[in-house]
Each structure stands twice: as C-alpha cells, then as structure tokens.
Amino acid sequence: MALNAVGTIVKSFLDPLTPINHGAFAPITVIAPERSFINARYPAPCGGMVECKALMDTVVTAAMSQAVPEKAIGDNKGGGNHVYVSGPNPDREGIYMLYEWPAGGTGASAFGDGNNAVRYFSEGDFNSINSSEVVESLFPLRVERCELREGQGGDGRDRGGFGLRRDIRVLYEGAVLSVLSEKNTLPPGGVDGGGPGAGNRFTVVRDGETVEPSPVPGKVSGFPLGAGDIVRIESSGGGGAGDPLERALDRVAEDIAEGYFTAGEAEARYGVVLDAAGAADAAATAARREALRAARRVVRLAPANEEIFDGARRIFRLAPALAADIGVADGGLAELTGGRGAVLRGWVEIADGVDGDAVHLGPSGLGMIQADADGRVEVRKVTPAL
C-alpha cells in the first residue's frame, strides 16, 4: 500500500497520460522501515489496509502540491468507510451481513469544484453505494434516506464536493454495528486557502435521539442495535481550493438555487449578499467580503528551537488572547495556511508569556507550511464534524 499510494499520486501529478507499467514506478523509491506503521511485521495486529493507503495519499498529495502547485487538490475522505450491519435473518437461515463503503465528496482544485459522493482519482471505479432495492430484498433492513450531505464540502473559490447521507433502519432485534473509518476527528483539509470539508460521521438514531456508538469516532465494534434503530451514515465532504471570498457570484447563486446553501450560509461562508429579488448584490457583497477578510487572524510564525510535539501530535503554541480570537480551547485543533498548498494542522497549547501575534512552531512545521511573502499565515479553528 505504501508503494501504491506513492506511485499512484506521483504519477497522477507528474505523468498522468502514459500507460501504467513497471517503467512508471522504476524511478520511485519508497523508504518504509520494517516494523514501522506502514511496514508492519508479525506479530503486529493489522487491518484496514485501505485506510493506511488513503492517509498516505493525503501526505503524498500535500507534498506534490508543493512540487506542482498548479495541480494542488483538496483532501478526500480518508479510507474505505467500512460499515457493517449484521444479525439474525428471520427470512433466511443463519445471519446476514450488510457491508456498506460509502463514497464521499472529492477535493476541489483550480480546475473546478469537487464531485459529490463519488470515488476519487486514487480509489478505483467500483460503485459508490449499494442499491437500496437490493439491500431491502436481501436483508431485514430498510433504506429510509439516501441523499447528498448538502453544504458540507470545504469552502473555496472552488468548493469541495458533498458527501453522502444514508439512513438504514433495522427491522428486527439482535443486530450489531461495526465501523472502520478515518477522518472523523481530522476532517479533509483544503488547499490554497480553501476550507475543510465535514468529517465522516457514523451514529445511531434511537427513539429520535442521536447516539454515539463509540467513544472513538469512526471505530465501532459490535454496537448492539434494536428493532427500529437507524444507522446514520454521513460521509465526508472534500476539501476546498482557493479563497472562498473569491468564488464567483454566479456560482454561489447557482449553489443557493440548487439548495446546497441557504442565503444566510452563503453570506456567512462566501460573503455573498442577495437582494430582495434573490440576485447577488454586488456592492453589499463587496462590503461583506471586505469585513470577513478583516476578521481573519493573520499572524507571524515564531520559530521554536526544538520540535513541539505531544507524542505524535504537532503542537501550535498560542497566547491566550489569540486562542480566544479564533475560538479554540487548549487542546483544540487548528490549522495554518499561507494561501498556498495544503494546510498544516496541529493541536493548540495555550501558553502565557508567548508572543500574542504569532504561532510558535517547531522546525519541521516551518519547513512544511508555505507562508506568504512576509512570513505570515492565517490561523483558524478546525471543527471536526459540521
């Protein structure tokens, strides 16, 4: 999977049109030390190889967006989104098992918006969802809802695609739910100043109340389901590309007409103000966009002498006032963007006595983030699930 991820992404960026054969991968060397996460050896427990590949896709795509910036593309859903519903089947012998692998919204790029609930370029050409008619004819289940997860793509000059929302009702007692998914806590990121899409989310609706089936988002093992419970599948939106305040007015108006956003959401996220007739008001939109730009927190990068990590987590050290400005608590998730390439994510550590107009960052982070010409970046809160 390591070679697969590196090979497919590098070829997609550098040589997308020639045939795929041994020569396509001969110039590529993958360094994957034995007994590391991406090159496990017995007796390490292994599973979810697609999740490993998809996360490596994210890393390699971010790196290639620096090498070939004109092809930068927003992030995708991060794995197979494996959903299993199983239990006794009163109409057939034995038990049944429904396996869903819902596609999500794909990332946006300078070439256009992401696509809605389809496979992305590195994933393959198999179907995005199971046929509702087939599910209901084979299993004691009913598909009550299957639609786009509207408004949940990453904001941008080109917006990320929308994921899928799907409700499956369990008709008999004794069923269980298991899920293996990534990017529930860390949602797909944007590029070139674009925003994140909504993260994957898997819940159970019981008696009208939403129940979290696991304390670890995206990791569920044998959660008991009763008759009437609804398994709600919500796949992620793709990351956005470019500054959302630069999205063309007619494209925002079209999104509103399609029902993807309300007028209020379009104003809050894209700065587009509609007049009484429902058309974009150019003067009011310009003023609103200027106000939204002025509200952004653009700060300096303050180099730390040593790496700042808490275990595997990269730490951004912020002054209390700066953390309050962006609405993030101690231990919360934030991201940095200089308006180019992929965002850099980290967990916030609020510290007294640090520069209030800077993000304190270790050497490796400084090497990854592409700041603007003055060495400044925008810092913003990341909300795991929208």
Residue 279 has pLDDT above 50, yes or no: yes
- What would you measure as the largest C-alpha separation in the chain, in angstroms? 69
What confidence score (pLDDT) does residue 268 get?
Answer: 96
One domain, residues 47 and 59: yes
One domain, residues 204 and 266: no
**Which tens digit of pLDDT belongs to each residue from 355-370?**
889 999 999 998 888 8
Side-chain-side CA neighbours of residue 80 (13 Å)? 17
- Residues with Cβ within 8 Å of residue 60, at least 6 apart in sequence: 5, 6, 9, 10
pLDDT bucket at 375, cuts 50 / 70 / 90: confident
One domain, residues 135 and 225: yes
- 68 in any annotated domain: yes
Q: CATH number of the domain that 318 lies in?
A: 2.40.40.20
pLDDT bucket at 386, cuts 50 / 70 / 90: very low
H or E element, residue 87: strand 82-88
One domain, residues 327 and 361: yes
Mean pLDDT of 64-68: 93
**Which tens digit of pLDDT belongs to each residue from 210-260?**
999 999 999 999 999 999 999 999 999 999 999 999 999 999 999 999 999
One domain, residues 81 and 214: yes
How distant, in Å, are the alpha carbons of 98, 136, 329 from that of 144? 15, 10, 38
- 243 in any annotated domain: no
- 386 in any annotated domain: no
**Which tens digit of pLDDT belongs to each residue from 79-105?**
889 999 999 998 888 899 999 999 999
pLDDT bucket at 384, cuts 50 / 70 / 90: low
- 20 in any annotated domain: yes
How distant, in Å, are the alpha carbons of 2, 13, 88, 273, 319 from that of 193? 28, 20, 49, 21, 23
- 333 in any annotated domain: yes
The answer to whether the beta carbons of residues 99 and 83 sit under 8 Å apart is yes
One domain, residues 25 and 139: yes
One domain, residues 211 and 338: no
Number of domains in the chain: 3
In which domain, by residue range, is 180 found? 2-234
One domain, residues 187 and 202: yes
Which amino acid, 234?
Answer: E
- 240 in any annotated domain: no
Mean pLDDT of 165-181: 97
State the Cα–Cα distance between residues 106 and 206, nearest whole angstrom: 31
One domain, residues 54 and 11: yes
One domain, residues 289 and 303: no
- 242 in any annotated domain: no
The answer to whether the beta carbons of residues 181 and 81 sit under 8 Å apart is yes
Provide DSSP, 28-49.
Answer: ------TTBTTB--TTS----H
One domain, residues 36 and 127: yes
Residue 385 has pLDDT above 60, yes or no: no
> Mean pLDDT over all residues of the chain?
93
- 117 in any annotated domain: yes
One domain, residues 128 and 214: yes
What confidence score (pLDDT) does residue 311 get?
Answer: 94
Please report where in the chains the tokens 């002025």 appear, as a residue. 294
